[in-house]
Structure 1
Amino acid sequence: MVARLTRPVRGLKPLQNSCINPWISSHTAKRTLHLSSQQSAKAKNPLPRSPPPTKPAIDANPLIYRTSKQAAQSPNTSLKPPAANGEKATVDTIFQQRKWAFMGAGFAALALGFYITSVVASLVKSPTPSCAAGACANPATAGPNGTPLMPTGRPPGLEQAKGDERRLSAETFDRELDVPEFIGGYKKLRKEMGKWARGRVLEVAVGTGRNLPYYDWTELVEGVMPLQGEKAEAEREKLRKEKEKREQKRARKVKRAMKAKGEEVDVEKAKLPGRFDGEMLSYTGVDISADMMGVARTRLRDTVPGLKMLLRRIRAEPMPERGTVVDILDSRVRLCIADAQEPLPLPPPTTAAPPDADPGKYDTIFQSFGLCSVSDPVKLLSNMASAVQPGTGRIFLLEHGRGYFDFLNRWLDQTSEKHFNKHGCWWNRDIEAIVQEAARTVPGLEVVHLGRPLLRMAGTTLVIELRVNPDAVAQKT
Structure 2
Amino acid sequence: MAKLPKTPKSFPVKPKLPTTPAIPLHRRIPRAQPAAEQPPQGPDYEAMRNISKKIWEHRPKMSEIQRLSDEELRSAHHQAKVRRWRQWPMFGIGLVAFGTGTYLSMLWVSLTRDPDLKDLPEDLSDRFDKDAEGYDEKVDTSEMLLFLNSKRKKLTAMATGHVLEVAVGTGRNIPYFKTKQCATVTLLDSSGPMLAVAKRKWNDTHKEYFSRVFFKQQSAIDPITPPYGAPDGYDTVIQTMGLCSTPEPVKLLQNLEASTNENGQILLLEHGKSHYEWLNDILDKTAPAHADEHGCWWNKDIGKIVEESGLEVVDVRRYNFGTTWWLQLKPRKSMRQRLAETVTAERQSASQSDSPVTQKPWWALWR
State the TM bucket, normalised to the shorter chain.
0.5 to 0.7
2:62 corresponds to: 77
2:138 corresponds to: 176
TM alignment of 1:279-290, pairs within 5 A: 279-290=181-192
2:76 corresponds to: none
Distance in 1 separating the partners of 2:178 and 2:64: 56
Asked if the contact 1:151/1:425 (under 8 Å) is kept, the reply is no
2:325 corresponds to: 462
Task: State the shift of 1:122 in Å.
Answer: 3.1
Q: Between the two structures, name the one with larger relative contact order (CA 8 Å, sep ≥ 6).
A: 1
Instruction: Indicate yes or no: 2:299 matched with 1:397.
Output: no
Distance in 1 separating the partners of 2:290 and 2:253: 23
Task: State the shift of 1:374 in Å.
Answer: 0.6
2:220 corresponds to: 340
Asked if the contact 1:157/1:422 (under 8 Å) is kept, the reply is no
Instruction: Indicate yes or no: 2:313 matched with 1:447.
Output: yes
1:236 corresponds to: none
Gap runs ≥5 in structure 1: 1-74, 81-105, 131-143, 160-168, 220-278, 308-327, 354-358, 440-444
Q: Which of 173, 178, 196 lines up with 1:211 in the alignment?
A: 173
Which amino acid in the other structure matches residue 426 of structure 1?
A: W
Instruction: Indicate yes or no: 2:200 matched with 1:298.
Output: yes
Distance in 1 separating the partners of 2:284 and 2:327: 23
Deviations 1:336-366 (A, max 9, x none): 101111111322x1xx45xxxxx23000000
Q: Give the structure-2-normalised TM-score.
A: 0.61
- Structure number with the higher helix fraction is 2
Task: State the shift of 1:379 in Å.
Answer: 0.6
Task: State the shift of 1:189 in Å.
Answer: 0.6
Distance in 2 separating the partners of 1:122 and 1:465: 37
Task: State the shift of 1:179 in Å.
Answer: 1.2
Distance in 1 separating the partners of 2:138 and 2:152: 17
Q: Give the structure-1-normalised TM-score.
A: 0.48
Distance in 2 separating the partners of 1:475 and 1:158: 34
TM alignment of 1:73-472, pairs within 5 A: 76-78=61-63, 114=100, 118=104, 121-122=107-108, 125-130=111-116, 148-152=120-124, 154-156=125-127, 158-159=129-130, 169-217=131-179, 219=180, 279-306=181-208, 329=211, 332-347=212-227, 349=228, 352=229, 359-390=231-262, 392-439=263-310, 445-453=311-319, 457-470=320-333
Asked if the contact 1:170/1:291 (under 8 Å) is kept, the reply is yes
**Structure 1 residues 208, 78: CA separation in 2 closer, same or farther (over 3 Å shift)?**
farther
Asked which structure has the greater CA Rg, the reply is 1
Deviations 1:431-450 (A, max 9, x none): 111111111xxxxx211122
> How many pairs align?
253
Runs of 4+ in 1 over 4 A off after TM superposition: 113-117, 471-477
**Structure 1 residues 147, 448: CA separation in 2 closer, same or farther (over 3 Å shift)?**
farther
Task: State the shift of 1:195 in Å.
Answer: 1.0
Asked if the contact 1:199/1:282 (under 8 Å) is kept, the reply is yes
SS of aligned partner of 2:112: coil
**Structure 1 residues 115, 425: CA separation in 2 closer, same or farther (over 3 Å shift)?**
farther
SS of aligned partner of 1:452: strand
Deviations 1:254-300 (A, max 9, x none): xxxxxxxxxxxxxxxxxxxxxxxxx1110001000001011101101
Deviations 1:220-274 (A, max 9, x none): xxxxxxxxxxxxxxxxxxxxxxxxxxxxxxxxxxxxxxxxxxxxxxxxxxxxxxx
Task: State the shift of 1:124 in Å.
Answer: 9.0
Which amino acid in the other structure matches residue 128 of structure 1?
A: D
SS of aligned partner of 1:393: strand
RMSD: 3.4
1:14 corresponds to: none
**Structure 1 residues 398, 115: CA separation in 2 closer, same or farther (over 3 Å shift)?**
farther
Task: State the shift of 1:127 in Å.
Answer: 4.9
TM alignment of 1:44-55, pairs within 5 A: none
**Structure 1 residues 129, 205: CA separation in 2 closer, same or farther (over 3 Å shift)?**
closer
Task: State the shift of 1:116 in Å.
Answer: 12
Gap runs ≥5 in structure 2: 1-59, 66-91, 342-367
Asked if the contact 2:174/2:205 (under 8 Å) is kept, the reply is yes
Distance in 2 separating the partners of 1:376 and 1:412: 20
**Structure 1 residues 297, 450: CA separation in 2 closer, same or farther (over 3 Å shift)?**
same
Distance in 2 separating the partners of 1:282 and 1:186: 25
Distance in 1 separating the partners of 2:296 and 2:329: 22
Task: State the shift of 1:211 in Å.
Answer: 0.4
